[in-house]
Chains A and B, each alone.
Chain A
Amino acid sequence: MASDAAAELLDADILFRRAGFELRARFMLRAPWTVLFGPSGAGKTTLLRVIAGLAAAERGRLTLHGRVLTDTAKGIAVAPGTGAAQRRIGFVTQQAALFPHLTARANVAFGLTSLAPSARQARVAEMLRLFGAEALAERRPAALSGGERQRVALARAVAPEPELLLLDEPFAALDVTARVAMIEALRTSGVQVLYVSHDLADAWQTNANAIVLESGQVVAQGEARVVLADYRSQLLAQLGASTPSR
């Protein structure tokens, strides 16, 4: 059983309640990419916030690679952060949330204080290159476009090598080419991703696992192609094809 637990990237069993909304989520992530689907108001963002440690679960347990991050029964709540004793989870949302007074380079370096200056510079350069943001390095966020900001935000989140990266529709405002480029960069970085999307094509493209959340409950999880069979017609519509009649 211990080896099973270690094989799971994330094992979550949490209850979160606030202002009449209740989230009861029991699921495991085993794949490097997992897409979280669900209608608006299903609790996707709340779930990511609880996993990130930005919102506190009322009850439950959450482990990442066998490391306990939350265990309400034992009073464990590991704080967000990049240190060995911290949560080591990155989170990028639609709002890039870059620090406006810092350049793109300084933004990416923000989470790398544990590295020696030379190693930090090398890591920042590597991340800017990976996300195609080298030319943006000395600009501040006010001088970047929406897509450029998202590239820098992804580079900043991936730079400290998080054990899990949470993405809450960070590519919603990007065109298809930019979106594919970002997904490719994330794949190259090797970071493991839990990704909220309304776009079923993303799940197909990334060969991901999928979790479907409805009204605060996980209603399905597993390989995306199987789990999302019910959404097939929607996918075909997105790809511009007509739905075959059966």
Chain B
Amino acid sequence: MDWQALLLTLRLAAITTSLLLIAAIPLAFWIVFTRSRLRALVEAITTLPLLLPPTVLGFYLLVLLGPRTALGRAWIHLTGHPLAFSFVGLVVGSAIYSLPFAVQPIAAGFSAVDTALIEQARLLGAGRWRMLGELLLPLSLRSVITAAVLCFTHTVGEFGVVLMIGGDIPGSTRTLSISIFDQVQDFNYAAANRTALGLVVVSFTALAALYLLRGERAISVSTGVHRGE
């Protein structure tokens, strides 16, 4: 097992998931409740990474983050090193690649909240942030958990984008899936098997935890609380 790659992968997935939730919750709120004509455009942009081949997305991100663009040059000016082939670049690429996995479940969760509840909250004076924090998020918690697990597992397992943007730098950009690729290239199938098994365990554990949480929440919502017996 490549422990260094495992830790780097878990770190990458945790940071990417956290950033995506912070961005996706307000973005999903806007998509569901806006009347702006830009909605269709924003929805298309957020869904695009789902359809693009990872190598295509990775290639454009590599170009965008490289020293040939204003963004890439500004980053180098600020930090002294390029965004591509760095852990931060990897986070940026992973976040963009997994964006639809965060936005779509959360937007679906918000859309499923009964309109009558939203109208009552408005009548009782709730503004947007209160509506989001005290009504939509608690009632869409399963969707948020789903989004988090999907983002995490998707980031853990990604290969094409990571390879294009980050390359294969041990301790910096070599994730588990790239480590497996290297081990196979070296005909070290035993090591590749152990690493692949590690990925399976991480993904299975995350999904099992998701279904467990969703199941428990479904039970608590359906039974209500404290009948005052």
Contacts and interface: CB of A to CB of B under 8 A. Distances in A.
Contact of B228 (A90, A139, A141): A139
Nearest to B114: A97
Most buried by A among B122, B221, B223, B226: B122
B125 A142 contact: no
Taking chain B's interface residues, is the majority helix, strand, or loop, or is none over half, making it mixed? helix
B117 A97 contact: yes
B141 to A, nearest CB: 9
A67 to B, nearest CB: 16
Contact of B224 (A79, A114, A141): A141
Nearest to A106: B134
Contact of A101 (B122, B138, B222): B138
Nearest to B224: A142
B203 to A, nearest CB: 30
Nearest to A97: B116
A160 B125 contact: yes
Contacts of A99: 117, 120-121, 135
B125 A111 contact: yes
Given A54-B119, A97-B114, A99-B117, A160 B124 contact: yes
A126 to B, nearest CB: 17
Contacts of B130: 113
Given A93-B116, A97-B120, A143 B226 contact: yes
Contact of A139 (B119, B122, B123, B226): B226
Contacts of A110: 121, 124, 126, 134
B227 interface: yes
Contacts of B227: 139, 143
A157 B122 CA distance: 12
A143 B225 contact: yes
Contact of A111 (B117, B124, B222): B124
Binding site of A, secondary structure by majority: helix, strand, loop or mixed?
loop
A136 B224 CA distance: 13
Interface in A46-99: 52, 54, 79-83, 86-87, 89-91, 93, 95, 97, 99
A103 interface: yes
A138 B124 contact: no
B139 interface: yes
Contacts of B123: 52, 54, 80-82, 87, 89-91, 111, 157
Interface string B43-61: 0000000000000000000
Interface residues of A, number: 35
Interface in A130-176: 135-136, 138-144, 156-157, 160
B72 to A, nearest CB: 44
Nearest to B137: A101
A86 B125 contact: yes
Contacts of B114: 97
B85 to A, nearest CB: 46
A39 interface: no
B125 A101 contact: no
Given A54-B122, A81-B123, A99-B135, A138 B116 contact: no
A83 B130 CA distance: 14
Interface in B99-121: 114, 116-117, 119-121
A138 B222 CA distance: 16
A100 interface: yes
B222 A156 contact: no
A138 B228 CA distance: 8
B169 to A, nearest CB: 46
Contacts of A144: 224
A45 B120 CA distance: 15
Nearest to B120: A97
13 contacts: A91-B120, A99-B117, A100-B139, A110-B121, A110-B124, A110-B134, A111-B123, A111-B124, A136-B228, A138-B225, A139-B227, A140-B226, A156-B120
8 nearest CB pairs, A to B: A142-B224, A111-B124, A143-B224, A82-B125, A81-B125, A97-B116, A140-B224, A101-B138
